[in-house]
Structure 1
Amino acid sequence: MLSLVRHERPARGRRRHVAVLAGIAALLVLSNGVVRANDDDDDDDDDTKKILTDPTPAKGWIVTLGGSFQVGPKYDGANSAGPSFMPSLSWRRAGEPAGFSAPDDSLDYAIYDTDRFDVGVVGAYRSGRYSGSNIRLLGMRDVPWAIEAGVFAEYWVIPERLRTRVEVRQGFNGHHGVVADFSADWVERFGAFTFAVGPRASLGSASYMRRNFGVLPGEAALNGTISAYKPGAGAKSVGLASSLEYAWSPSFSTTLFARYDRLVGDAGNSPLVDRLGQRNQFSVGIGASYSFNIGG
């Protein structure tokens, strides 16, 4: 399932929904200068020019609340889909431009942030796999939900056009393996629209692969339709993701998104996928966000 809760950090990287405060402030100052010029004299022109060239910085924070509804695989390798909803919360300083963030980015916080390179901590939520949800999983152990925490790095190869990103996360609760996700996005802006598309790839440690795609001898005996299987570390999936955002106003926007993944290697060869599920995994969804200023 896609993880869509994320923090847009207060810097250039991936901020969205900019309030047009600077333009409003400039118009107010300009009209004030014109009135003073008419009422007083030409001596005030210098003061007006000084104000116009030295505007007061915007104050406060821009908070963005949102959420997304999506339909995707119930678990890695499932041949059935289910709905899910994920809320989101982000913030940035007033006056800072909004940047790009892919819908499948995990929640993150930048520790080091420049115009083109960011690095920081990251977290994600992964839904579980439960034998009671599908009769074909009879005898299989449940894989509970998991929290994954780790680090990320992001680099804009071409500023505002081509972004690359890697996340490395350690699992807790449902699994205790390590997952590494790689992505690249080509970003195009057309007026109020922002379109992005790019490849995806994911790797898993041996612990992660065994927990999600392995079959113990006892499980195979209870299920009766599959054999025991012990996968190793390596590639888990490759795919493609795309999104289309439309800004209805500086405060409100909606996003359509879709992602395709194909399970490969030991993950794709697992009987849980090859016999009971499918290698092709599709997800589609829609999201909305609203931004407002506080403390200004």
Structure 2
Amino acid sequence: MTRLPRPANPLRHLLLCAGLLAALLWTRGCLADTDDPPTVAGGVGMERLPSWPGAAASRNQPIPYVDIEIPNRISLSTLDGLQVDLIGGQVLHGGIYGDYQWGRDSDDLGVLRDKIAPLSPRLTMGGYLEWQLTRQIDVGTDLSHDTYGAGAYLDIYGEWDLPPVWLLQHSVELRWQAMNAPAMNRFFGINSVQASTLKVAAWQPGAGSQFASLEYDLFVPTSKHTGFALAVTYERLLGNAGDSPLVTRFGSRTQLSESVAFIYHL
């Protein structure tokens, strides 16, 4: 999963997620008598992640956790965004996809502050397809575009639910993401003025790969309805993203993220 920097106002994001959770709890009550009732989980935690896409330094931030699913209809997650399933098959799923993509704050740029522009968070919308190969393995792809017109993103992923160990549930996910040229330039480009300030060559990358990542997720139950969710992600910037002077001179192609959250699920 892509872990871009935090929103400009984390408190507002927490309140938004709380509102979404309350709304979906009401939905769950309305549909509780169906054969496939919704699943609802919520919680809070901490995440350690790169200060900005391509940064070598890391920072810590509180994170909300919301994960709601109405089987074969809709899912909403603070990690994976929104999916509205218009196919609803047993093997093939697909439909509308949406996500909220963080930008980068001036406070997180360190030595690059006032030398490259901060980026505001953006909403992306598009579509997705997902194949449930087995009960444990699914693969999928989503294609989305910045609703402000600042770029397009393609994701291809595969997830494997590993055999449980005692009460522990765990999984691994492989992901690859590509960007079109406007998106690549937004995050990794350097114009002539910035290049002069940074004393590097200007960089105007074209479309191509952004990163490949491997994520390990672990859920440790503490009761029937509670537990800890842990995640570790190893990400490697590729192509024009990894070759940007922002990364080679001031950051790192290797991006590590870790998170832990206390979860309550119904």
- Runs of at least 5 residues in structure 2 that lack an aligned partner in the other structure: 5-16, 22-32
Q: Deviations over 1:1-41 (max 9, x none)?
A: 638x8x99xxxxxxxxxxxxxxxxxxxxxxxxxxxxxxxxx
Aligned residues: 236
Q: CA deviation at 1:270?
A: 0.5
- Runs of at least 5 residues in structure 1 that lack an aligned partner in the other structure: 9-55
CA distance in 2: counterparts of 1:215 and 1:130, whole angstroms: 17
Q: Find 2:51's aligned residue among 74, 88, 107.
A: 74
- Residue 126 of structure 2 corresponds to residue 150 of structure 1: yes
Contact 1:103 1:243 in 2 (8 A): no
Structure 2 length-normalised TM = 0.77
Matches within 5 A, 1:240-251: 240-251=214-225
- Residue 89 to residue 136, structure 1, CA distance change in 2 (3 Å): closer
Q: Which residue of 2 aligns with 1:259?
A: 233
- Residue 192 of structure 2 corresponds to residue 217 of structure 1: yes
Q: Deviations over 1:150-173 (max 9, x none)?
A: 22221122x122211212121145
Contact 1:236 1:263 in 2 (8 A): yes
Q: Find 2:253's aligned residue among 247, 272, 279.
A: 279
Specify the SS of the correspondent of 1:113. Answer: coil
Q: Which residue of 2 aligns with 1:46?
A: none
CA distance in 1: counterparts of 2:36 and 2:129, whole angstroms: 29
- Residue 167 to residue 255, structure 1, CA distance change in 2 (3 Å): same
Aligned-partner residue type, residue 264 of structure 1: L
- Residue 178 of structure 2 corresponds to residue 203 of structure 1: yes
Aligned-partner residue type, residue 167 of structure 2: A
- Residue 62 to residue 187, structure 1, CA distance change in 2 (3 Å): closer
Q: Which residue of 2 aligns with 1:2?
A: 3
Q: CA deviation at 1:106?
A: 2.9
Aligned-partner residue type, residue 253 of structure 2: R
Q: CA deviation at 1:142?
A: 2.2
Q: Deviations over 1:92-137 (max 9, x none)?
A: 56xx7xxxx9995333232222222211222222222244531234
- Residue 201 of structure 2 corresponds to residue 227 of structure 1: yes
Specify the SS of the correspondent of 1:273. Answer: helix
Specify the SS of the correspondent of 1:221. Answer: helix
Specify the SS of the correspondent of 2:87. Answer: strand
Aligned-partner residue type, residue 168 of structure 1: L
- Residue 40 of structure 2 corresponds to residue 63 of structure 1: yes
CA distance in 2: counterparts of 1:59 and 1:220, whole angstroms: 56
Q: CA RMSD in A?
A: 3.1
Aligned-partner residue type, residue 128 of structure 1: G
Q: Find 1:124's aligned residue among 99, 108, 130.
A: 99
Bigger Rg over Cα: 1
Specify the SS of the correspondent of 1:154. Answer: strand
Seq. identity, % = 22
- Residue 147 to residue 61, structure 1, CA distance change in 2 (3 Å): closer
Contact 1:235 1:265 in 2 (8 A): yes
Q: Deviations over 1:204-236 (max 9, x none)?
A: 00110011111111111233x222111000111
CA distance in 2: counterparts of 1:233 and 1:203, whole angstroms: 7
Q: CA deviation at 1:188?
A: 1.8
